[in-house]
Amino acid sequence: MKVQNYSEIEETEVTMEGAKDVSMRLLISENDEAKNFAMRMFTVEPGGHTPFHFHDFEHEVFILEGQGVLKAEKKEQPFKAGDVIFVKPDEKHQFRNAGSGQMRFLCLIPIQDKCA
114 scored as a contact of a copy of itself (CB under 8 A): yes
What are residue 114's DSSP bridge partners?
A: none
Q: Which of 21, 45, 54, 106: binder of a copy of itself (CB under 8 A)?
A: 106
Looking from the CA of 72 toward its CB, the CA atoms found within 13 Å total: 13
Q: Which of 77, 95, 98, 103: binder of a copy of itself (CB under 8 A)?
A: 77
How far is the CA of 33 from the CAs of 66, 96, 111, in angstroms?
A: 31, 31, 11
CA-based max dimension of the chain: 44
**Residues that bind a copy of itself in the complex, under the rule CB under 8 A:** 1-7, 9, 27-28, 32-37, 39, 58, 60, 62, 64, 70, 72, 77, 79-80, 82-88, 91, 93, 106, 108, 110, 113-115
